[in-house]
Amino acid sequence: MISGILVSFSELLDSYGMQFISGFYVTLKLLTVTVIFGFLLAVPLGLALTSRHRLVKWAARTYSMAFRGSPVFVQLFLIYYGLPALLIKYYGSIVPMQESVWWPLISSSFALASLAFILNLAAYMAEDIRGGLQSVPNTEREAAIAYGMHPLTIARNILLPSALRRAMPALFNQVIISLKATVLVSTIAMQDLMGVGSKAFSQTFDITIYLFLAVIYLAMVFGLSHIFRAIEKYAGISNKIGGKL
């Protein structure tokens, strides 16, 4: 049975190999863009979640609740279909919209899909960063204040370095969850790895296509988690050295 599956895998690669490679590239690009921008957005959000200003904290909490409380699938559709529809209503017709600043975003399905994933990932990562920030001993912050440091300097030089190190495993975990979420773009007809597979399946009804995808995605997930564990180990060692100094 296993050899039979392997034979059909190699047949699959013969007929769809190039498409799978381009799909893999789309998946990788989507994940990279999502993780980079999601993290950049998560840092200020995480700081806002621990802010002493009530309004800032409330806004960050509402954002977090909205994006963690609803499915990323719904968020993807809300942004991919909803945002352009909303803008068309606002501008009245398509021509003034094409001249607006929104056009580069809404004319690209890649940009819209990434936006949805970025906003979602940022909410989850911000919670992890908040956890890291709260585990920084308060005396460190107090000492920095006593030195007369600017709040932004405190955040950048005192709080974030140790908070991010503590949050690292959780943040890495979110990256893996994001990788698994990228398959959703296949439902908006984007040709990522899953999209290529779904299209091939709809033509052939050959279930080995999904089995093949399962193997690939498992390899990606386990590969990534091994890399992350290696990084954590490395960072853990440098952490101890830093502690001694």
Pairwise CA distance, residues 119 & 65, whole Å? 12
Q: How big is the site for another protein, counted in residues (CB under 8 A)?
A: 35
By the rule CB under 8 A, 183 interacts with another protein: yes
Q: Which of residues 200-239 bind another protein (CB under 8 A)?
A: 201, 205, 207, 210-211, 213-214, 217-218, 221-222
By the rule CB under 8 A, 147 interacts with another protein: no
The string of DSSP letters for 123-192 reads HHHHHHHHHHHHTS-HHHHHHHHHTT--HHHIIIIIIHHHHHHHHHHHHHHHHHHHHHHGGGGGGGT--S
By the rule CB under 8 A, 120 interacts with another protein: no
By the rule CB under 8 A, 94 interacts with another protein: no
Figure out which of the listed residues 21, 36, 40, 65 binds another protein, where binding follows CB under 8 A.
65
The string of DSSP letters for 14-48 reads HHHHHHHHHHHHHHHHHHHHHHHHHHHHHHHHHHH
Decide if 206 contacts 8 (C-beta within 8 A): yes
Polymer length of the chain? 245
Figure out which of the listed residues 171, 186, 190, 196 binds another protein, where binding follows CB under 8 A.
186
User: What single letter denotes the amino acid at residue 212?
Assistant: F
Handedness of CA 41, 45, 47, 51 (dihedral sign): positive
When the beta carbons of 43 and 129 are compared against another protein, the nearer one is 129
Angle at 93 between CA 88 and CA 97, to 5 degrees: 65
By the rule CB under 8 A, 90 interacts with another protein: no
Smallest distance, another protein to C-beta of residue 73, A: 5
Smallest distance, another protein to C-beta of residue 216, A: 10
When the beta carbons of 117 and 158 are compared against another protein, the nearer one is 117
Decide if 34 contacts 182 (C-beta within 8 A): yes
Residue with the two structure tokens 């990522």 = 192
By the rule CB under 8 A, 171 interacts with another protein: no
Smallest distance, another protein to C-beta of residue 156, A: 31
When the beta carbons of 50 and 198 are compared against another protein, the nearer one is 198
Smallest distance, another protein to C-beta of residue 223, A: 10
Figure out which of the listed residues 28, 59, 86, 136 binds another protein, where binding follows CB under 8 A.
86
Residues that bind another protein in the complex, under the rule CB under 8 A: 65-66, 69-75, 77-78, 81-83, 85-86, 180-181, 183-184, 186-187, 194, 198, 201, 205, 207, 210-211, 213-214, 217-218, 221-222
